[in-house]
Amino acid sequence: MENKAPWRLMVEYVRPHSKVLLLGGILSLVGSAAGLAMPLLAKYVVDAFGEGGSMTGPLLGLTAAVLVGAVVSAFGGYLMERTGEGVVLGARRKLVDRLLRLRVADVDRLKPGDLLSRVTGDTTLLRAVLTNGIVNSISAVFTLAGAIAFMIVMDGVLLLVTLLVIVVIGGLVALLMPRIQRAQLQAQESVGEMGAVLDRALQSYRTVKASGAENREIGNVTQAATQAHDRGLRVAVWTSMAGTATWMAVQIAFLAVLAVGGARVASGAMEISSLIAFLLYLFYLVAPIGQLVEGAVQFQNGLAALKRIREVEDLPGEPSGATGASDGTPVGVRFDDVVFQYGEDRERVHHGVTFDVPPGGLTALVGPSGAGKSTVFALLERFYEHQSGTITVDGRDIRDWPLADLRAALGYVEQDAPVLAGTLRENLLFAAPDATEEDLTRAVRRTRLDDLVARLPEGLDTAVGHRGVLLSGGERQRVAIARALLRRPRLLLLDEATSQLDAVNELRLREVIAEVAAETTVLVIAHRLSTVTGADRIVVMEAGQVRAVGSHDDLVGADELYRELAATQFLVA
Ligand SMILES: Nc1ncnc2c1ncn2[C@@H]1O[C@H](COP(=O)(O)OP(=O)(O)OP(=O)(O)O)[C@@H](O)[C@H]1O
């Protein structure tokens, strides 16, 4: 979406930490200056040794340089790590903020496990860029420049020899960089892919076991892991080639300097102490060149990670307005010639859906599977945008409602009624954290959950297990209804569970629905005869259109499809 140069994007993450970074940078410069002074001081020690002068001064200087270098570098290093963690935190915050505000349609496409790896894995790579990448590179450049300056002073000819070797091999390394970045991006993608496969297996854990598909799923995850491994190896190959090239550069330069320098010392063109100092400086080049190469590699890795992070950040988000409020007064709903398809390449799901639900009472949506009933709910919640026609809630086009207010006005209970991990209380308060104890007790009573609460060892504070595995299907559905009711919705959308409920649970559910419908508008996707016969009106949908509206008795007499549904679906299932 944005077309900024990659390093600019990187700067955005680093900017909030620029002060600490500057301090760290200065410290590492001081550290490298202390380091740079050492060979020169060593030369003085050698000179003093040769000339029989006092060695105390140079030796003290050498000690001071070592100490200053060590302390300053350690502190500078700590600051860098700290900033690195700060960058990771900042990136994660930003990414998570976007992740939870994405549009449902985009999330449908993306794989949860892959998204997870972007938040956990890719953000971590950004830190490496900062700590080893940017700062080490800056201090390396400084050390390098300093060492070269000293080397000019020592002997210009030897410097030329050194630079020639380094430039040739440096060029080779530069050629490797784009390959490293590409390989790293692919490696990160494999890690994301592995997360996605693993996530799928864990989400459908019982199905995997029941289908005897453990080995196949293990195979799939292992395959993704192996791919990540292979691609990681490719990164390692290119990286170590870059490392080897650097190492060779220094070794060849060393041999060349030794040969040329030895000749120059023999001919009297240069002193032996200068040659020693020069060789020491030459080895001083090893670390910064290594750092530069590593910095460049880290930078490539960081860019690869950044690409994956930006892919998510650049997706459009929903408006992040304040949480909406609802006063619980019932509202009416109207669909007027609504046309909708899930994607450009998808078939239409709604071909002009029209119906009208007055405020209050119970309205049942019925129709064969795939008729588009759940889609009615998804459109009302604005999980997706309809292509044409009008949907109004309380007489107001839903596109004109602030999204947060619209969603606060609607209570939504999904068919598989998810219960989140945590205690029963946490689950109930999920949509209304500020609800009072009294509200809570009332909601529990209204949804006939008091028996359950009395039976649980720690009442409301009993942990209900990951995804509510410790509750029955009927209990889960009622927990979800209670959760929705605590938000005092003006319209309750209830996608009835298709699974068979036992007689007691079915009776309870019917009572709960009837009681809620006395106070607010309830729109229920009905799979049960008890629900449709108890409804004030029934909307019959077929293949993306409304074919009839009426009471149970009207429809049994007037609508063939309804009669058929009543005879088979509702009575049997
Ligand atoms: N998120 C989605 N992305 C793409 N297509 C979808 C999506 N959700 C539903 N569909 C398609 O839209 C059509 C209508 O689905 P919908 O869930 O609204 O039907 P339904 O009447 O509620 O059926 P059921 O009673 O089986 O739940 C189906 O063909 C389905 O495949």
Residue ranges of domains in the chain, CATH in brackets:
6-313 (1.20.1560.10), 333-572 (3.40.50.300)
Q: How far is the CA of 370 from the centre of ligand 1 (A)?
A: 5
Q: Is the CB of 106 under 6 A from ligand 1?
A: no
Q: Is 372 in the pocket of ligand 1 (CB under 6 A)?
A: yes
| Residue 438 region by backbone torsions, left for phi larger than 0, else alpha for psi between -120 and 50, else beta | alpha
- CA–CA dist 400, 508 (Å, integer): 37
Three-state DSSP class for residue 317: strand
Structure tokens at 421: 């991990």
CA 508 to chain centre: 41
Q: Which residues contact 219 (CB under 8 A, 6 or more apart)?
A: none
Grouping H, G, I as helix, E, B as strand and the rest as coil, residue 70 is: helix
Encoded tokens for 84 = 């690195």
Q: Which residue has the tokens 């009207």?
A: 554
Q: Does 188 contact ligand 1 (Cβ within 6 A)?
A: no
Question: In Å, how far are 66, 117, 390, 472 from 13, measured between CA atoms?
Answer: 34, 19, 43, 47
Which pLDDT score is estimated for 35?
Answer: 78
Residues 6+ apart with CB under 8 A from 70: none
Q: Does the C-beta of 375 come closer than 6 Å to ligand 1?
A: yes
Question: For residues 142 and 151, what is the distance between their CA atoms, to the nearest angstrom?
Answer: 14
Q: Is the CB of 425 under 6 A from ligand 1?
A: no
How far does the centroid of ligand 1 lie from the alpha carbon of residue 211, in Å?
Answer: 25
Indicate the SS3 state at residue 365: strand
Instruction: Return the closest-CA partner of residue 129 out of 39, 236, 240, 12.
Output: 12
Collect all residues with Cβ–Cβ distance below 8 Å to 433 and sequence separation of at least 6: none
State which ligand 1 atom lies nearest to the alpha carbon of 384. 1
Q: What is the pLDDT of residue 541?
A: 93
- Residue closest via CA to ligand 1's atom 3 equals 342
Length of the chain in residues, anyone?
A: 573
pLDDT in tens, the chain (573 residues): 445 676 777 778 878 888 887 887 788 778 877 877 777 788 888 888 777 777 787 788 888 888 888 888 788 878 888 888 888 888 899 889 888 889 888 888 888 888 888 888 888 888 777 766 777 777 788 778 888 887 888 778 888 888 887 788 778 888 888 888 888 888 888 888 888 888 888 888 888 888 888 888 899 889 988 998 998 898 889 888 887 887 787 788 888 888 888 888 899 887 888 888 888 888 777 777 777 878 887 888 888 888 888 888 888 888 766 667 777 788 999 999 999 999 888 889 999 999 999 998 999 999 988 899 999 999 999 999 999 999 999 999 999 998 888 998 998 988 876 777 688 888 888 888 888 899 899 889 888 888 888 888 888 888 887 665 678 777 888 888 898 888 889 999 998 876 666 777 778 888 888 888 888 999 999 888 878 888 899 999 999 999 999 988 888 888 888 888 888 777 544
> Is there an atom of ligand 1 within 6 Å of 342 CB?
yes
From 338, 339, 340, 342, give the residue whose CB has the most ligand 1 atoms within 8 Å, as the site to mutate: 342
Q: Whose CA is nearest to atom 12 of ligand 1?
A: 349
| 472 touches 464 (CB < 8 A) | no
- Specify the ligand 1 atom closest to the Cα of 104: 1
Beta carbon of 573 within 6 Å of any ligand 1 atom: no
Match 């009426």 to its residue by tokens: 550
Per DSSP, helices labelled H in 413-548 are: 424-428, 437-446, 450-455, 473-485, 503-519, 529-533
C-alpha 505 to ligand 1 mean position (Å): 27
Give dist(CA 76, CA 55) in Å, integer: 31
Q: Are the CB atoms for 117 and 195 separated by under 8 Å?
A: yes
Q: Cβ contacts of residue 254 below 8 Å, gap of 6+?
A: 279, 282, 283
Q: What is the CA(573)–ligand 1 centre distance, in A?
A: 20
Torsion of CA 519, 523, 527, 529, to 10 degrees: 50
Distance, first Cα to last Cα, the chain: 49
Residue 330 CA, ligand 1 centroid: distance in Å: 27
For atom 18 of ligand 1, which residue has the closest CA?
Answer: 372
For residue 84, what pLDDT is reported?
82
Ligand 1, atom 28, lies closest to the CA of 370
**Distance from Cα 377 to the centre of ligand 1, integer Å:** 11
Handedness of CA 73, 79, 82, 83 (dihedral sign): negative
Strands 388-393, 361-366: pairing kind: unpaired
The number of the ligand 1 atom at minimal distance from the alpha carbon of 376 is 18
Task: Report which protein residue has its CA nearest ligand 1's atom 16.
Answer: 372
d(CA 546, CA 352): 8
Mutation choice for ligand 1 from 341, 349, 525, 565, CB with most ligand atoms inside 8 A: 349
Cα(281)–Cα(287) distance, integer angstroms: 11
What's the confidence (pLDDT) of residue 270?
79
Q: What is the distance in A from the centroid of ligand 1 to the CA of 274?
A: 81
CA 398 to ligand 1 centroid distance, Å: 21
Q: Measured from the CB, is residue 374 less than 6 Å from ligand 1? A: yes
Q: Are 211 and 128 in contact (CB under 8 A)?
A: no
Task: Name the burial class of residue 327, with classes exposed (0-12), middle (13-18) and buried (19+) by CB atoms within 10 angstroms of its CB.
Answer: exposed
For ligand 1, atom 30, the nearest C-alpha belongs to 370
Using an 8 Å Cβ cutoff, are 195 and 225 in contact?
Answer: no
- Cβ–Cβ < 8 Å for 397, 379: no
The whole-angstrom separation of Cα 498 and Cα 573 is 8
Instruction: For the full predicted model, state whether its pTM sits above 0.80.
Output: no
Whole-angstrom Cα distance, residue 470 to residue 419?
10
CA 349 – ligand 1 centroid, Å: 7
Residue 371 Cβ contacting ligand 1 at under 6 Å: yes
Ligand 1 in contact with 341 (CB < 6 A)?
Answer: no
Phi and psi at 332, nearest 5°, equal -95, 165
**Ligand 1 mutation pick, 353, 374, 380, max ligand atoms within 8 A of CB:** 374
At 111, phi and psi to the nearest 5? -100, 130
Pocket lining: 451 vs ligand 1, CB cutoff 6 Å? no
Nearest CA owner, ligand 1 atom 13: 370
